[in-house]
Each structure stands twice: as structure tokens, then as C-alpha cells.
Amino acid sequence: MKTPARLQVLLDEGLIDGVLRQLKSGKEAEVFVVRCGDDTRAAKVYKAATDRSFRQAVDYTENRKVKNSRQARAMAKGTRYGREQQEAAWQSAEVDALYRLADAGVRVPQPFHFFEGVLLMELVADADGLAAPRLNDVPYTPEAAREHHALLLREVVRMLCAGVVHGDLSEFNILLAQDGPVIIDLPQAVDAAGNNHAARMLMRDVNNLRNFFGQHAPELLDTHHGPEIWDLYAAGRLSPETPLTGRYEPRPGAVDLSAVLREIEDARLEAAERDLRRGAAS
């Protein structure tokens, strides 16, 4: 195949030795299978983030650090330079999260290099050495659904203990490798302690897993791991080995976290719908 211009730079720098094929193309990036010596890896080539709304950017980028005050002002004003810096920060957030989570033992692709807007990382493979399928593309028995659900909850906990919430976790960005599920696509990952939306995002991630695997093991639909996990985290009692029950009873006098988060999410959706109606009427 013809080598994309963005990957030609990596060839010229000796970071890759060949481009084998395109693996996928999405709104945020294109992914290619590349050769590095005797190894086969994935190269994620980022696109400009023109399809993400400003509201989403605010939620995900809250409290993300920038290099200097000029960048912060430009990003706040939405200037061309600011948009370029915001996109660079969006890309580097995934790189930083991957290194951080890989070091914490979370099941994510091993990152190798980030150069000129291209992330070079491990190719997640199935038993035949081919690119692993998404969870959504695989059939499940009830036993397999329960097993994968439990494993992924443990990975969510491990991520949270490392200070990270995925923010967009679902069956569409988890791959089923030969040795089990692997979590991918982390540009929207947020700092659990520094982002006011982290609890809501954690609840959504956990609920997405529950709803997906609950299609195959219906008893999972009655679990409430999200508020349980966040309550343990907020109390400083969460570790990767903490037993989870799937039950959640607010402590006497404590705020019902799940109810509050539902109300916040409902209010946010109502506001978004009002904005859409205003835009359509103008």
C-alpha cells in the first residue's frame, strides 16, 4: 500500500520499517498495522478533533495541565493557536494515560513512541495472531459474560487506583485478545481526583459494562458496582484487591451518590436538548 505521509516521517526516522495495511479509520484517528524489525505493531495517526463538541471538551479537559499561561489563554479563547494546543493536549492525554496505566499493570496496549502526532504501540492480537476483535463483535455464553465482566471491573478499579477514569468505556473500545480483554482509546481519560465529572464518568463506564454483559447474563443488570467503587475510592478504602459485592447502600446521613449523579446527568441532557432546540429555531 502507499505509505501515508504521516507515517513516512516514522519510516524516515527509523521508528518503523514498513506499513502493512490500514486497520481502522474513525473520527479521531486512523490505525495502521506496521512492521518494526521482527515485530508487528499498531500506529495510531490522530486526526483533528473537529467532531467533538465544546461541552465535551470542557468536561474531559477540566484541570488538564498546559505548559504555560499563553497556551491556557489561547485555549480558553478558542483561537487557532489555542485549538492547535488543545488538540496536542488531547493527543498527549492518551499517551500519558497509556504509560501511566501500563506501569500500573492495567490491561492496555503497551505504548512505545509518540512522534509527530502518531502513537506507536502494541498490536493487540487474537489467538491466530490477527488484530483482536472488539467485545461487541464476539458471542458470549453466560459464563464468559460473567468472567469478562468481573475481569473488566477489576481493571476499572486498577485504573481508578492509578488516578485515571477512562471516561468512554464500552464494548466498542475493548478488544478481546488471546489472553482476555484489553482496554483501548484513552484520549478522553480524566484525572479522578482533579476532574469534577470523574464520578459521573466512572458510573457511566461501569454501567456500560453492566448493560452490555447483562444481555448475556441478566443477573448482572441488578448490580450496582459504580457507586460502590466510587464510595470506596472517596473513602480511601479502594485497592486493586478490594472485594466487590455489586451492592450499594448509602451510609446513614450520607448523600445517595448514584441518585445525585442521575439528577446531574438528567439536568445536563435537558440543557443540551434546550441548546439544540434554540439552535434549530435560530
Calpha distance 45→94 (Å, rounded): 12
Is-catalytic flag, 231? no
Helix locations, 164-256, DSSP H: 198-213, 225-234
Query: What type of residue sits at position 42?
Result: A
Nearest of 186, 205, 212 to residue 94 by alpha carbon: 186
Cβ atoms of 153 and 206 closer than 8 Å? yes
- 182, with CB counted inside 10 A (0-12, 13-18, 19+), is buried
Helix (H, G, I), strand (E, B) or coil at 176: strand
Indicate if 185 belongs to the active site: yes
Active-site residue identified among 96, 168, 205, 231: 168
Active-site annotation holder among 17, 39, 179, 185: 185
Residues with catalytic function? 168, 185
